[in-house]
Amino acid sequence: MTRRPLCMLCLILMLSMCATDWAGIPLIRGNPLPENAASWIEEHPQATLCGEVIQTTENEFSQSVYLSNAYLIYQSQKLSIENVKVFLKQREEVPAGTVILVSGKLKRVEEKRNPGEFDSQQYYASQHIYYLLNNAEIIEKSENYSAYRQGISQLREYLAGVLGKIAGKEAGIFQAIVLGDKTSLDKEVKLRYQMAGIVHILAISGLHISVIGTGLYQLLMKTGLGIWGSGFLALLFMLQYGVMTGGSVSTMRAVCMFLISTGAKITGRIYDLPTALAVSAMMILGESGAYLYNSGFLLSFSAVAGAGIVVPAFTRTLEKGKEGRTGKLCTALAASAAIQLTMLPVSLYFFGEISLIGIFLNLIVLPTVGVVLGSGVLGMTLGCVNLKIGSLMIFPGKILAVFYEKLCMLAGNLPFGTWIAGQPEIWQIVAYYAVLASAVLLLTYRKKKSSTSDKEKDKVQEKNIAGNLRVRKYLSLFLICTALFLISWRKTESFSITCLDVGQGDGIVVRTPEGNCFLVDGGSTNKSGTGQYQILPYLKNQGISRVDGILVSHTDKDHISGVEEILELTAQKLNSVEIGCLYLPNWKTPPEEWEKLSQLAKEAGISVKQVKEGDCLKAGKLEMQIVAPLENASGINVNEDGMVLQVKYGEFTGLLTGDIGEETEQKLLEMGDLEDVDFLKVGHHGSHYSTSQQFLDKIKPEYAIISCSSTNTYGHPAPEIVERLEKAGCKVRFTMKSGAVTVSWQKGKIRLKGYLGNYI
């Protein structure tokens, strides 16, 4: 490290940034507006902004523009609001560099509200975006614009159109690989690539920059321009390419490292990968310190660190003991595994899972993806002149793209292709990298050359542990296994019920320390993709690889939309979480939505069971007694005929009431099946139609959770219900205020914890 001062400087910079953040000086800025203006915006979201357009993006649903150096017009003042993403109400041509005056509903970027959920606030903060302007209309725009930036934007759009014409069904893949444009990439294809562990080829990174940049440099050298001329033109082109492809963090890192590499060639210096990596990191962090917590930043840099530092240690050691084809295969496997080992803590921290099959698939994909990229670039370039020639040139890449998709589909059918280990603690990540570094140092250990007079002494020393290659291999393997144990260890001693924040809806996860897990409902009326973006990420974050059963209380959208998504993904082999069984209420005349859920489960190979009052689901110490629907329930009124669960674990008792109202509550009271409970999931999102005084007097809950959205139009929760609960001595928490709320029980003690705070 002392021979690489820039690496040491980068390490000190990153540690200092972490230290200042932990000391209470956040890297992610809270709010660029003064407190009074921020409060005013929350109450009066309609706002007028002015800023310069730096980028425009479009998809089939909407058009959005990014404004830089924007300011808010507030009480005749101009308040800086930094960068803003604007979602336009109507599509309109807005050239880059145009200054626009725009009006719409201004909203803070929403904070992460569930464990495992994508952190939009952190993602946008790295781009200096803290507010979004929705449903916006342009009031006025300048005639002047940036000819350079608009030209780059139009060129990208034109080239994407050419790829769309010559690549056919695979156009989305080529637009992503060549231009960094994922707007046309099919979601199903992207998910398949993610599960197969090869999604990295769809992002502009070192592989793409190296293939294009090095290829261009060598081509220019053949024209006789010389090292300086070829290097300068290659650098200039790659800078523009980086801008055109969107300037993602992986692209910025790759372009920075290419600049340093080419600069080394021009000046006759030796290129040092760790130093180039450190310089690139400092340049990116200098732009925004928030990148330090960005998944793209950490994955990109850990992958290159693995390829440049860990892989050589693994492969050099193996090459000494293996020769021939077997040796080459083992070396390739070791290289792929080394990169995955380096990225493992980052992948688990952000996604809770990692693809194991990707270690093997990358042996096929990485050597051939250059052909896909090369044919894509060549086909796109020639396609600008003649589409038929472009179609011919891109054909080899199309064949490989289809082959990759077949590989992904095959991988989806294989068991144990994905390892769901959950999110590790920070101390586990530090310990993992410390042990992995020890293994690398052990493998790269080299004795200093001795003088001739010490040769006999050296022969004796070679038998020592430090000098014995075989022993070092075994010790390194032991250290790697230790590191894997450290990163995968999870402490689960308590029983818990978690009410996820799914907006206006319900999504409840019941979990035991023995490893059993049940999902009760899962849906939302104001959030799309609840299953894919809230429920499944939470399960993976918690290291839950199997859900024993999904119980659906009733078939309203705010309880089943996410469940439908999960079943559809499972049927398509796009869900790595195993689902055991689907439990539906036993209704005499079930609605169409009930039938759809049943059919989706059968298509996914999941058994379907109907339950009613008197049934009991058991899993170890857990008992889930079905209190409703009652015998002969019709299902015409899905709320009142919904499923009610009494959850028992040890001395703990909880009641999950779906959306039942006072009518069903009264029937349950008359039947006498209810008993005192420790926890109540308040019925119907806290509406005034449920949770009667008689009902509360009977069950006497100590803790309660109300799941609803802060922007709902139904008046949930009703103030009288909240007051009634509090007067009954119940401690109440709301998902709209606390995010996901977990009630846990361990050794007779109950704890209520909100993801955004609010502990009891």
> 287-307, pLDDT tens digit by residue?
888 888 899 999 999 999 998
Question: Does residue 582 lie in a domain region?
Answer: yes
Stretch 567-593: mean pLDDT:
96
pLDDT at 457 > cutoff 80: no
Question: Does residue 286 lie in a domain region?
Answer: yes
- pLDDT, residue 26, reads 66
Same domain membership, residue 458 and residue 521: no
* Count, residues in the chain: 760
The parent domain of residue 80 ranges over 35-145
* Angle at which helices 295-305 and 249-267 cross, to 10°: 40
Q: Total structural domains in the chain?
A: 4
Residue type, 677: V
- The string of pLDDT tens digits covering residues 395-409 is 999 999 999 999 999
Question: Does residue 420 lie in a domain region?
Answer: no
- The string of pLDDT tens digits covering residues 147-167 is 998 999 899 999 999 999 999
> CB-hemisphere CA count at 13 Å for 747?
1
**CB-based contact 558:531 (threshold 8 Å):** no
User: Given the DSSP bridges, would you call strands 703-706 and 77-88 parallel, antiparallel or unpaired?
Assistant: unpaired
- pLDDT, residue 466, reads 46
CATH number reported for the structural domain that contains residue 109 in this entry: 2.40.50
- pLDDT, residue 333, reads 84
**CB-based contact 76:60 (threshold 8 Å):** no
Mean pLDDT of the chain: 89
**CB-based contact 274:10 (threshold 8 Å):** no
- pLDDT, residue 450, reads 53
Tell me how far CA of residue 441 lies from CA of 348, 351, 445, 479, in angstroms. 24, 29, 6, 11
Q: Which of the four pLDDT bands, split at 50, 70 and 90, describes residue 320? A: low
The candidate with the shortest Cα–Cα distance to 544, out of 566, 572, 573, is 566
* CA atoms of 558 and 562, how far apart (whole Å): 8
Q: Which of the four pLDDT bands, split at 50, 70 and 90, describes residue 266? A: confident
pTM listed for this prediction: 0.92
pLDDT at 318 > cutoff 70: no
Residue type, 276: A
By mean pLDDT, which of 97-111, 130-144, 237-251 is the weakest? Answer: 237-251
Report CA torsion sign: 443, 447, 449, 455.
negative
Q: Which of the four pLDDT bands, split at 50, 70 and 90, describes residue 119? A: very high
Same domain membership, residue 730 and residue 684: yes
pLDDT at 31 > cutoff 90: no
Same domain membership, residue 731 and residue 673: yes
Which is more confident, 600 or 413? 600
* CA atoms of 361 and 357, how far apart (whole Å): 6
CATH number reported for the structural domain that contains residue 668 in this entry: 3.60.15.10
Which is more confident, 321 or 753? 753
CB atoms within 10 A of CB 298: 19
Same domain membership, residue 524 and residue 663: yes
Tell me how far CA of residue 156 lies from CA of 178, 246, 456, 738, in angstroms. 10, 10, 67, 43
**Paired tokens of 69:** 């150096």
The candidate with the shortest Cα–Cα distance to 696, out of 720, 713, 716, is 720
Highest mean pLDDT pick, 255-269, 357-371, 442-456, 547-561: 547-561
Same domain membership, residue 500 and residue 461: no
By mean pLDDT, which of 12-21, 337-346, 383-392, 604-613 is the weakest? Answer: 12-21
Question: Does residue 6 lie in a domain region?
Answer: no
Phi-psi region of 296 (alpha: psi -120 to 50; beta: other; left: phi over 0): alpha
Among 145, 161, 196, which residue terminates a domain?
A: 145
Same domain membership, residue 259 and residue 408: yes
Question: Does residue 319 lie in a domain region?
Answer: no
Stretch 39-56: mean pLDDT:
89
Among 145, 164, 190, which residue terminates a domain?
A: 145
Same domain membership, residue 159 and residue 136: no
Question: Does residue 709 lie in a domain region?
Answer: yes
Question: Does residue 371 lie in a domain region?
Answer: yes
- The string of pLDDT tens digits covering residues 603-641 is 999 999 999 999 999 999 999 999 999 888 999 999 999
User: Residue 355: which H helix or E strand, with range?
Assistant: strand 353-355
Q: Which of the four pLDDT bands, split at 50, 70 and 90, describes residue 30? A: low
**CB-based contact 305:340 (threshold 8 Å):** no
- pLDDT, residue 348, reads 96
Same domain membership, residue 645 and residue 735: yes
Which residues, in sequence order, are CB contacts of 106 under 8 Å at separation 6+?
Answer: 41, 45, 46, 47, 49, 72, 131, 132, 133, 134
Same domain membership, residue 400 and residue 300: yes
Tell me how far CA of residue 218 lies from CA of 215, 222, 229, 270, 372, in angstroms. 5, 6, 12, 18, 19
Question: Does residue 102 lie in a domain region?
Answer: yes
Same domain membership, residue 724 and residue 651: yes
Q: Which of the four pLDDT bands, split at 50, 70 and 90, describes residue 28? A: low
Same domain membership, residue 181 and residue 253: yes
Among 145, 178, 197, which residue terminates a domain?
A: 145
Same domain membership, residue 444 and residue 549: no
> In percent, how much of the chain has pLDDT > 90?
61
DSSP state of 731: E
